[in-house]
Structure 1
Amino acid sequence: MRFFRPRPLIAAAVAALVVAAVTHLATILSFFVGSNPQATVLLQINNFFVPSTVVLLVFVFIFALFTRLTRWYTAAIAGLVSGVLAALVGTGIQALVQGNTLDGGVISYLFSTLGSINLIFVLTATVATATIGRRVCVSMSSSAIVPRSVSGTVLVRRPPKNLSEGIVTHLERSEIDVELADEQWESYVAALIGAGWKPIEVDVADTLADSVFVEDSVVVFGRLAVLASPAAPSRVAEIDGVEKAVRAMGLDVTHIVQPGTLDGGDVLKIDRRVYVGRGGRTNAEGIRQLRHILSPFGYTVIAVPTSKALHLKSAVTALPDGTVIGYPPVVDDPKIFDRFLAVPEEAGSHVVVLSDDTVLMSSAAPESAQLIESLGYRVIAVDISEFEKLEACVTCLSVRVR
């Protein structure tokens, strides 16, 4: 079962240990400071709260294991419930050890302690679980690249020697470090491999500056590869190498043809809905042809105005559950999508879905990554700064074939 894999177990255990330790220390120190500061007082308070702390560790571990403490409010509820139960059980153990019987009077006393001696313990447990515990659990569950069985194949294409000549439309041109770009591309592919994907390289095209952005050349629907029709004349020659690669994979192949234009970066697939950006790179005829190609397969093609970004997927992408994420200033109309989640950084609009619980993102969007992690997803961050200077994002550098 998913819950009992090593990483979630370790994350839950560490989060529980941290919460228990912080709660115990904060509680005894608050009593120590508020009373006569003597070593004997500290020892007595420590001994009183040890059973409650041990019980708290167990309950927080259980909550962390099954909920991952992904949202602050659910983590706060988990902390409150754990704190109350731990305080009642721990204080009850102390009462029984002292020779009392668990009768009505003792039970009444136990509940009364929630507003007195155990109040600080419960409040600290709640806050610690919602803050430190949640952060520890989420970060340990999602920070590393976890090797997986092969999820599918992924098309990639090495950066050309003339990468710095790539087209720039919405940004001012800046200097490209081609050697660094090569290193970043290698790291990007390594991240895909680490997440269980098998890369297939399209032949490098050293005279085609934008050819590394292989996503624009083809869109794959199951076993059907739809080859694009670039609006930019300098990119037309990119299609031949990609067609050779997808045919070698045994995919069925069809084309968008002139006067229709379509870039793969304008196509966002969510189940059987296909959102297509109508903007500078994709025209109405290209969308009409794609709709004609896909309708027999049960896909619904939805045209989306795209005027504030190079491609639709420069503005929005989708999480594994179908939620569309985007940076509002570059999204023409968020209401088009059934579920839209605003992210705080433009680079945070772009994710590559690697599995049901894992996405690939740019390291340039740490706040957005934290937001997505809080939803229960594992985030793998990669540095693609040199490609971002050419208006590219993580989706541009690969095409997944399941």
Structure 2
Amino acid sequence: MKTLSGLNEYGALKVVAVRPPEHAYVSDEKVADEWERLRFYSAPKLGPAIDEHKMFTDKLRASGAEVIMLGGDDALTLDSIYARDALLVSPKGLILCHMGRKGRRGEPAVNASAFEAAGYPVLGTIEAPGTIEGGDIIWLDDHALAVGEGPRTNAEGIKQLQDLLGPDVEVHTVPLPPPSHPEDVFHLMSMISPLDRDLALIYRPLMPDSFVNWLEARGIGFVEVPEEEFIPMGCNVLALGPRNILMLDRLPETKARLEAAGCEVDTYTGDEISRKGEGGPTCLTRPLVRGT
């Protein structure tokens, strides 16, 4: 069995999984059938999406990461391009989510089957009535994680997660604000992205004081996303390594603030794979192995 290691969000990315548009969007007919129901801003265009995703994964590989390409299945929707959400990583193996969005509940088993075939162990499953999604989970290190409690992750799901992880892992619960529509997504990673062991990008107006205090007690400082770049997903950035950042293009002030904090920043075009479905680079990726 392969080992899941580097349980953090900033270490050098070693192994990461993605699902390309060919296996998530599939066809123009599938896009037309699903995009409004799934509350995409508009219908993604399959051809340009494939081009965007290839350039995105090329950047992952250029950073030194092995990229696992997830396949398709009839149980998947357009949302399955956001590979982070269906599974969690833990020291003892992968955890299958019971997803808050009902239409995505076939996705964890499909992804887990691919990872098991690649040699990665499965620890367990979150069961109903618990719900949990990967975008609500942030590992700080092997012994501490934050989990957002909100529309996609509930208290029962968090309890089951703590039971699976055991007493050696501190689980800090972060209350999340309700979205404007019950089917809209607002994950913990909508308002925070770790950049390094001691630095995180945050949208301060939505961060509970208890969470800020918990992070500061661990020696973590902050770069703040400006108001005008929060809705366009300025807070959703992917660390390819410590202070080595990949983010959406056309977010100039956030990029400037990251660079002022000593980050090396690269950008990608995500009009079809990110903006229309409101899923940034962390959403598009399921990191499996990072450096410590």
- Provide TM-score, normalisation by structure 1: 0.58
Amino acid at match of 2:191: A
Q: Choose from 268, 274, 280 the match for 2:138.
A: 268
Change (3 A) 1:229 1:319: same
Cα deviation per residue 1:119-145 (whole Å; 9 max; x = unaligned)?
xxxxxxxxxxxxxxxxxxxxxxxxxxx
- Matches of residues 219-234 of structure 1 in structure 2 within 5 Å? 219-222=88-91, 224-234=93-103
Q: Does residue 303 of structure 1 match 2:173?
A: yes
Structure with the higher fraction of residues in strand conformation:
2
Higher gyration radius (CA): 1
Name the amino acid aligned to 1:378: E
Report whether the alignment pairs 1:400 with 2:287. Answer: yes
Does the CA-based 8 Å contact 2:36-2:42 persist in structure 1?
no
Q: 2:245 matched to which residue of 1?
A: 359
2:119 maps to: 250
Residue 16 of structure 2: SS of its match in structure 1?
A: strand
Conserved? CA contact 1:267–1:277, under 8 Å: yes
Instruction: Give the match's secondary structure for 2:85.
Output: helix
Cα deviation 1:81-117 (Å, max 9, x = unaligned): xxxxxxxxxxxxxxxxxxxxxxxxxxxxxxxxxxxxx
Look up the match of 2:183.
none
On the 8 A contact 1:205/1:211 being kept in 2, the answer is no
Q: Which runs of 5+ in 2 are unaligned?
A: 1-11, 180-185
Q: Among the aligned pairs, what percent are the same residue?
A: 29
- In 2, the alpha carbon distance for the partners of 1:173 and 1:184 equals 17
Closer/same/farther in 2, CA of residues 151 and 209 from structure 1, 3 Å limit: closer
SS at match of 1:304: strand
Q: Does 1:314 align with 2:190?
A: yes
Measured in 1, the distance between the counterparts of 2:67 and 2:83 equals: 13
Task: Tell me the residue number matched to 1:158.
Answer: 20
Alpha carbons of 1:301 and 1:368: their partners in 2 closer, same or farther (altered >3 Å)?
same
> 2-side partners of 1:314 and 1:167: how far apart?
21
1:313-363 per-position Cα deviation (integer Å, ceiling 9, x unaligned)? 122111112423222344455635324431122222122121124121111
Q: Indicate conservation of the 8 Å contact 1:373/1:379, yes or no.
A: yes
Superposed, 1:89-238 pairs within 5 Å as: 151-159=13-21, 160-161=25-26, 162-163=30-31, 165-166=34-35, 173-205=41-73, 207-222=76-91, 224-238=93-107
One-letter amino acid of the structure 2 residue matched with residue 228 of structure 1: C
Name the TM-score, length of structure 2 as normaliser.
Answer: 0.78
- CA RMSD across the alignment: 2.3
Q: 1:220 to 1:292 in 2, by over 3 A?
A: same
Cα distance, 1:178 vs structure 2:
2.6
Q: Which residue of 2 aligns with 1:323?
A: 199
Q: Specify the code of the residue in structure 1 equivalent to 2:187.
A: H
Structure 1 residue matching 2:282: 3-state secondary structure: helix
Q: How far apart, in 1, do the equivalents of 2:277 and 2:252 lie?
A: 20
Aligned-partner Cα distance in 1 for 2:149–2:73: 28
Residues 1:288 and 2:159 aligned together: yes
Larger mean Cα displacement after TM superposition, 308-317 or 268-277 = 308-317
> What amino acid is aligned across from residue 276 of structure 1 in structure 2?
V
From 349, 360, 367, the counterpart of 2:235? 349
The structure richer in helix per residue is: 1
Q: Which amino acid aligns with 2:199?
A: T
2:57 match: secondary structure:
helix
Q: How many residues align structurally?
A: 251
1:156-197 Cα shifts (integer Å, max 9, x gaps):
11222234624778x773342232222211111111001111
Give 1:343's aligned amino acid.
Answer: V
In 2, distance between residues paired with 1:267 and 1:277? 7
Counterpart AA for 1:363: D
Amino acid at match of 2:102: P
Contact 1:308 1:332 in 2 (8 A): no
DSSP 3-state at the match of 1:262: coil
Structure 2: which amino acid aligns with 1:153?
Answer: V
Counterparts of 2:36 and 2:114, CA distance in 1: 24
Q: Secondary structure at the match of 2:279?
A: coil
- The one-letter amino acid of 1:303's match is T
Aligned partner of 2:212 in structure 1 is 335
Deviations 1:20-73 (CA, angstroms, capped at 9, x unpaired): xxxxxxxxxxxxxxxxxxxxxxxxxxxxxxxxxxxxxxxxxxxxxxxxxxxxxx
SS in 2 for 1:183: helix
Aligned residues of 1:267 and 1:312 also touching (Cα < 8 A): yes
Going from structure 1 to structure 2, the CA distance change for 1:183 and 1:238 (only over 3 Å counts) comes to same
Query: Structure 1 unaligned runs (5+)?
Result: 1-149
